[in-house]
Amino acid sequence: MSAKKKVEYYKGFNLHEFAGKAERIYENHREELEEQYLGKIVAIEVDSGDYFIGQNMDEVSKKAERKHPDKYFHYMRVGGGGVFKFHGPVFDIR
């Protein structure tokens, strides 16, 4: 199977689709985020479009989970740069 056809899922959702939705939300707010929060961490909840800002992962996770306790979040550093490596059980669905 080619790499292009490989679809990775985690707990029932497509990781690539999830990240793509989060990146589109970020792009819609890029100017505001980068002007006001450059270098901080943003947590994006893709179903609602809500996003949360913090100095570090702990701070932003608490804010995000307070409003959406049963959701997953996509974390990014405002303006670019890594935040953390996501890993866990990923399945190749053929």
The pLDDT value given to residue 81: 79
Alpha carbons 61 and 91: distance in angstroms, whole number: 26
The pLDDT value given to residue 70: 87
Coil, strand or helix at 28: helix
The pLDDT value given to residue 84: 59
pTM, two decimals, is: 0.78
**Which residue type sits at 43?**
A
Per-residue model confidence as pLDDT tens for the chain (94 residues)? 444 555 677 677 788 898 899 999 999 999 999 999 999 999 999 999 999 999 998 899 999 999 998 898 999 999 987 775 443 444 444 4
The pLDDT value given to residue 7: 60
Tell which residue, 10, 37, 73, has the closest CA to residue 64: 73
